[in-house]
Copies of this chain bind each other. A is one copy, B any other.
Amino acid sequence: MTDTAGGRGGVGSRRRGRPPRAESADTRDRILDAAREEFAERGYDKTSVRGIAKAAGVDSALVHHYFGTKEQVFEAAVEVALVPALAVRDAVLEVPLDDVGERLTRFLFGLWENPVTRRPLLAIVRSAVNNEAAATVFRRLVSAQLLRRIAGEIDSPDAELRAELAAAQLVGVAMMRYVIKIEPIASADPEQIIARVAPVVQGHLTGP
């Protein structure tokens, strides 16, 4: 792997550091792509750093060097994929609070309908359901970064519970449509679902 040799040459002298950005960006990206694919396909428990390294065409030591433990690879893989999503989150929250239900619902459908972001989402769900380390990552990403932000906008003593019940409706739709694939919801027109779900999400957030 000639493109990784340069990065590895410096490992001994700066063990906890990272190789210069330009030199390592491709390799890092390739490892993260492979990790998302492996976690989505196999789930957390059956994915190994060795398997990720093999799929990325690099040495296992390089995966450990860049990311650390399997849990840290998982977190980096799903977090990087969701960074654009988390940026959109700010746009979602910039609309008037009465429109957040529809914006949030469309935002989630956008993530799940897009093959690029569906893989890491499947990886998160499949892994978090069966593994405590992955569940911790899910809680940190979804709960701390998204739900608490939304709850902060709501003027209600049970704001966090409201945000979580809104999320529960969206999580349940994703489970039935994209993960377990129950019909007719799996094949229904997204607009038909959004029309029914967005008001429910809004109701949880700002309803009586």
When distances are taken between beta carbons in the complex, the residues of chain B under 8 Å from A25 are none
Q: Does A128 contact B (CB under 8 A)?
A: yes
Interface size class of A (residues with CB under 8 A): 35 or more
Assembly stoichiometry (copies): 2
**Given known A171-B175, A172-B169, contact A139–B182 (CB-CB < 8 A):** yes
From the candidates B143, B171, B176, B203, name the one contacting A164 in the complex (CB within 8 A).
B176
**Given known A172-B170, A172-B175, A175-B172, contact A193–B165 (CB-CB < 8 A):** yes
When distances are taken between beta carbons in the complex, the residues of chain B under 8 Å from A128 are 179-180
**Given known A129-B179, A158-B192, contact A184–B164 (CB-CB < 8 A):** yes
**Contact: B130 with A192, CB < 8 Å?**
no
B-facing residues in A142-184 (Cβ within 8 Å) = 142-143, 147, 158, 160-162, 164-165, 167-173, 175-176, 179-184
Residues of A within 8 A of B (CB): 43, 45-46, 125-126, 128-130, 135, 138-139, 142-143, 147, 158, 160-162, 164-165, 167-173, 175-176, 179-185, 188, 192-193, 196-197, 200, 203-204
